[in-house]
Amino acid sequence: MTQADRFTGHDLSCIRAERLVFQGVGFDIASGGALKLTGPNGSGKSSLLRLMAGLLRPASGTLAWNGGDPADEPGEFRAALRYLGHQDAVKPALTVAENLDFWASLAGARGDGTAALSAFGLAALAPLPARFLSAGQRRRLALARLVAAPGRLWLLDEPTVGLDRASVAALEAAVARHRDAGGLVVVATHTEIALPGAAELGMERFAPARPAAA
């Protein structure tokens, strides 16, 4: 990877349903770097990821992708971005391979997804309709998307939900390869996942001060 990327956020705050979820969040990740979001349920890990992806607008603060606001150059930012949400976005009526190919071609990737499926142990299931997959297998299919269409910035929301030990190891390996190639990764999780040298952002620190109960 020739290009060094940098993704930063400064003084971000987020309002959901007229409630301040967090305030004053800042981060700075460079190529090869990782950021781990931790914190109790409802502390705004998912909201921060959606905000980073550009699905949510910050109530205040700024994001910068290589120095520019992602909202100004959405095409360039989205070409680099791979987002994994809570939901797997797997269509039960399509086969495993068709599901993967659709997302890969939407992201502008060419070629077949066999390697991506193998990385998560799904190669044998490729011709099977996705309705027969278990929850963990669906999650692995969603993860295979990240590998099928390479992007430089991965935003992963609870990627290990439903995964067995071997699949978590496969995910850790995929993240390590991604970072070795100069990629950036942000992971929201409350399970153990090996991210060597990752910065940690504890979301509970940014909760707004609650007015004392009367």
For residue 105, the minimal CB distance to other proteins (Å) is 4
Nearest-angstrom CA–CA distance, 126 and 111: 15
For residue 146, the minimal CB distance to other proteins (Å) is 11
Give the residue with the Cβ less far from other proteins, 12 or 53. 53
In the chain, helix, strand, coil percent, each to 5? Answer: 35, 25, 40
For residue 75, the minimal CB distance to other proteins (Å) is 5
123-141 burial by CB neighbour count: b if 16+ within 10 A, else e? bebbeeebeebeeebbbbb
Residue 45, token pair as written in the block: 């890990």
For residue 194, the minimal CB distance to other proteins (Å) is 26
Interaction site with other proteins (CB under 8 A): 53-57, 75, 78-79, 81, 83, 85-91, 93-94, 98, 101-103, 105-108
Give the residue with the Cβ less far from other proteins, 89 or 199. 89
Nearest-angstrom CA–CA distance, 27 and 199: 9
What value does the CA radius of gyration of the chain take, rounded to a whole number of Å?
18
Residue 97, token pair as written in the block: 């391979």
Give the residue with the Cβ less far from other proteins, 55 or 194. 55
Give the residue with the Cβ less far from other proteins, 93 or 213. 93
